[in-house]
Every structure is written in C-alpha cells, then in structure tokens.
Structure 1
Amino acid sequence: VVQNITEIGRCAKAYCEHTARSVPTLSDAVVTLIEMGLNVDTLPVYAKRSQRMVITAPPVTNPPVTPKALTAGQKRTHPAHIPSHFPDFPDPHTYIKTPTFREPVSDYQVVREKAATQRRDVERALTRFMAKTGETETLFKDDVTTFPLIAAKPSAIPYLSALLPSELELQSLEETDSSEQDDQTDSENVTGHNITDDPSADKENSLLPPSGVVPSSKSSEENMIDNPYLRPVKKPKVRRKK
C-alpha cells in the first residue's frame, strides 16, 4: 500500500510539472491511476462500501506557549505570492533593533539614596585620611591599629571662632567700605562743579564726562572685548544695612 501511494504521488507530481504547474490537481491524480492500470469508475462504489474504515482527524494540540520575556514584536506571516509549505519567517527578535543602553534613573527615591551613599562614602574616606595623616586615639590601649579615632584638639577659648568674622564677611565689609568711598567722591565732584559761577562753564562741564576727557569712538572700539570669557569681572555692590 505504501509503495502504491508513493508511486501515485510521484506520477502526479511529474504530470503537474509537465504542464508547468507547481500544485497537483485531481486531474493529475486521475491520469496517474489510469496510467497504473486502475479502473477509476469503481472508486465511488468502493468509497461508499459499508465496511469501510474512517480515519479520524488527529487531536489538536495547543501550540507551545513562548514566555513574554522572549517575544519582541509580532511574527510575520507569508505573503500571498509565497506558498504555505515554505519555512516560516524567523522570530522578530532576530532582526528588530533593540537599544542596549540603560535609561538614566530619574526616580526621586533612587536619586536620594544614591546621593546619600555617595556622601557617606566621601565622609568615610575623609575620616580615614585624617585618621592616617593626623593624630589618633584608640579604644584599646594594647592594639593601636584597631578602631582609630581622630584626636580632639581642645582649645583654651572654644567660643572664639564663633565671635571672629569669617573671610567672606571681611571681604564683604571691604567692598561696602570701598563703594561708600566712591559714592562720597562722586558727590564731592558734583558739588564742586555746581559751585562755579560761570554758566557757560557749567554747560561745558555738563556735556563732559566725570573724568573730563572725551573718549573717542576708535579707542572705545579697541577697548571693547568680544570674548565674554576675557571681559573684566563685574562685582555687585553690597551696601551695608543701616
């Protein structure tokens, strides 16, 4: 029986390819049976016999479920011009572009925990450096290396550091003193110009700048610096509160 079925399939394929087709049809099978010497008219009577055996369809098995972690995209099916017996397309994760870098963490809790760990590591490293370079004390008299502690330096007047001004406060006081002196000199110059009796001189002095020299346009253009990183620093004037 297996030999007959194999011969029918081979001959049907040969007749199909002879007529420039790729899929065998019923006419190809009929021509094959006639070529093998079988009577085709007896086939309907043989199919309707009472003692025939019916082969049931194979049980339908569920396809294997792939985990969601390995799926990427949707699997492509064959287009209309590709026969169904051709192999399926590969899994989408083999040709889909996936980024390999990790997005920066912007969660508030994670950022705060990271900042706290970095601060703790910095403090620990600084403490160890001070313990190794400076004077230390130990909890155990016999072993000096275990549990080193930074030695405290007692001062005769501990509250003196709180009373003395810091460097920033001294610098701000100097700036305020210099700004007040500039304001006083400006006011004196203005009053000196106003005391003059000649009205024509007042007009001329009003047109001139405070320095008394008329700056030329060429010199101002030469002194102008285009690079913002090379310009002189402009410090804000800090006025002392009365």
Structure 2
Amino acid sequence: MPRAATHARRRPWIQDGGHGVQRLGHDVSEIGRSAKSYCEHTARTQPTLSDIVVTLVEMGFNVETLPAYAKRSQRMVITAPPVTNQPVTPKALTAGQNKPHPSHIPGHFPEFPDPHTYIKTPTYREPVSDYQILREKAASQRRDVERALTRFMAKTGETQSLFKDDVSTFPLIAARPFTIPYLTALLPSELEMQQMEETDSSEQDDQTDTENLPLHMSTDDSGAEKENASVLQQNASLSGSRNGEESLIDNPYLRPVKKPKIRRKK
C-alpha cells in the first residue's frame, strides 16, 4: 500500500470535516519528523521549504490549494503580543559606602553589607538653613508667644467681653484710660534715655567745638544744657506722678507709643 494512501486512510477527520485536536497534533508532529528525515537524507541540518512540500505530498495533501487557503478573506490573523514594559526594579537602599574585600578574601565572595549594619554610625538631623523656613518658623514662634501672653494677661488681669451673656467666651484685656490721654504721646517713656544720649553726645561735641568755635558758642551750649536739665527734671516729676497714679503691666499691647530717635544735627 503506498504511503499517501496510508496517510489518507489515517486522516478521515480532514475529509469528513471533523475536528480533532489530538489527530491534528499527530499530523503536525509527523510533518516535522518527515521533514527532518528528508533534510538529514540530503546531508543538511535545517529543514527547508522543499522538504516540507515533499512531506505534504507524501502525506496526501494537495499543495496547490495552500496559497488560496492562505489568501482567504475570513482568515483569522494572530497579532503579535503587545510589548509590555518591564517593571523597573527599585534600587536597594544603601547607607554609606560598602568596603571592598581584603586581600585574603576571594573576589567571588558576596560583598559586605551596609556599614550601618555592623558599624556604629551616629545619626543626626542637619540644621535647617533655608531662609524662608527660618522666617516662617520665627514668625510662628512669635505668634505663639504673643498668643500665650495675651491669654495669660486675660486670665490674670482685668478683662472685658464682647458678649454680655457669656463673659468667658471672648475675653479682652481691659483698657486702662489715662488721666491725661495726650501725655503719653507727648512724653513717651523712652524720652529720658534719648535725652541722656543727646546730652552725652552734646558734651562730646562741645569738647571738640570749643577748640575751633568762638567763646560765645560755648555760652549758647551751656544755656541749652540748662534747658535740657530743666526738661529732665520736669519729666522725672511727671513720670513719678504717673507711676504713682497707676501701675502698668509689662504687656506689649499696653506699652506707650514709641517714636523714632531723632539725632540732633550739629
């Protein structure tokens, strides 16, 4: 019995239109085995198209129908699998620099672990040197101090409330009116120190001016010193009377108005 007839008799599922995965696998393996044997028979190692065509003819297939079958309109095309990006493996967290192997340890041995695992390494936080962060931190600290001070003053001193029903809801530091309201603006507390500085500077200037200026300028300076001394005495008496009338609490919100220091031009 010829070989083609034998294969045709063994493949009734192809002629009848049946389906059989096992038989299909058997035929595919038979095609490969026969093509390999034809290839080795011609002293070659890789099968070619001619070897496969001879194998199909020997198995009873009609090779001329293969191009039409390959160009059919309703064929299913198997697309290439989508290329997936390989996940990036994160680098191992390292602390410090690994020490190399000494001369007596072969190079194929694994590397030393991180130094912090077997060597004592002190850890500390670097000081913050950013200007913006320092300014924000200083502003927040100042705000907290002022808020704590106002709360302390509200708890210890006299308070006023915006609401008549509940006094403890929003307490405010009670304002103490002065007997002479305009006196604080006219005679601030820094006036004495300012005048003392002016008198000291004027004395130094007088010593230098007496060497170059005429004698009548020294008389004018002495008159100005007398006026300053009289003003100091008046300020001392007024400040003493004011301190006797009321005792002020050292509160930044109750401090008198500060005027800028004006240096007298010579």
TM-score above 0.5, yes or no: no
Bigger radius of gyration among the two: 2
Richer in helix (by share): 2
Band the TM-score falls in, shorter-chain normalisation = 0.3 to 0.5
The answer to which structure, 1 or 2, has the higher relative contact order (CA under 8 A, 6+ apart) is: 2
